[in-house]
Structure 1
């Protein structure tokens, strides 16, 4: 599912390629749905390096710095998340891998309570926050990690 840049002229589409064992983040120009940049983030083999590709078939396009920075911030987050969870205990790695593939690395607010119940049933409570952050970048209270510290109880 694409998520738009605040100006609405650009969007990022995130998808997982099972044969490549990698996440693809595509920066698209909304008008004409034209792909401008693709980042490939392998998540199964830490020895494989992430790459960024520009389409040689497409004509040159100026991308505003703010938009490219936004895209690269998302790529950096995906690299950080993809690499960190691979070092956890094998049983947690299996749960996170399944969740990331099933939900493509994100879950909307309406679906989150259902997924939270599913994760609670699959992992010990002490590991709940770690699994949710690795799978979706969220905390058990539903806030995203990028929103800053979790509110005090």
Structure 2
């Protein structure tokens, strides 16, 4: 369902593309049912960066600054939500990426104890909650995480702050 801008003339539609492993946010001009800008936010591969694309076949339209700022704020929030785990230390990012690829981001209750044991052997205990939340949306006790865990950038973690 599109999220309308407060002026009602623009809206953002968000959708997930499974083949691209990415979130797509589209800024549309509502009256003309026309896509103006698309932001692509990959959420599986840390090597892929988010991008913004303008419709090359469309006529030139002036988009008010406040609308573009609103759109980019929504894109920034999606990046923060989808890619927070990528700001962990590089060795943890690699473990999470491998787990997400191997298990496609989900794991059954029956398989969780085995995977928990493997992950516990591979990462420090203090990092276990962040790794499990990012890889499977779970806590070490197996329950689901209801939100993205607080993840500090790798520089802050290395400094111990």
TM-score, normalised with respect to structure 2: 0.59
Once residues 132 and 57 of structure 1 are traced to their aligned partners in structure 2, the CA distance between those partners, rounded to angstroms, is 41
Unaligned runs of at least 5 residues, structure 1: 97-118, 125-130, 136-153
> Structure 1 residues 56 and 92, CA, compared in 2 at 3 Å: closer, same or farther?
closer
Give the whole-Å Cα distance in 2 for the aligned partners of 1:92 and 1:68: 30
What's the secondary structure of 1:123's corresponding residue? Answer: coil
2:35 is aligned with 1:22:
no
Partners of 2:82 and 2:14 lie apart in 1 by 13
Q: In structure 2, what is the equivalent of residue 62 of structure 1?
A: 62
1:123 matched residue in structure 2: 143
Structure 1 contact 92–123 (Cα < 8 Å) conserved: no
Partner Cα separation in structure 2 for residue 123 and residue 85 of structure 1: 19
1:132 maps onto 2:142 in alignment = no
C-alpha deviation, 1:73, in angstroms = 0.3
Q: Segments of 4+ in structure 1 off by > 2 A?
A: 85-88, 90-93, 131-135
1:83 corresponds in structure 2 to 83
5+ residue gaps in structure 2? Answer: 89-129, 150-161
Larger radius of gyration: 2
In structure 2, C-alpha distance between the alignment counterparts of 1:122 and 1:8, rounded to whole Å: 43
Helix, strand or coil at the partner of 1:89: helix
Q: CA, structure 1 residues 64+95, in 2 after alignment: closer, same or farther (shift >3 Å)? A: same
Q: Count residues in correspondence.
A: 106
Alignment partners' CA distance in 2, 1:92 and 1:35: 32
Distance 1:8 1:92 in 2: 35
Asked if the contact 2:133/2:148 (under 8 Å) is kept, the reply is no
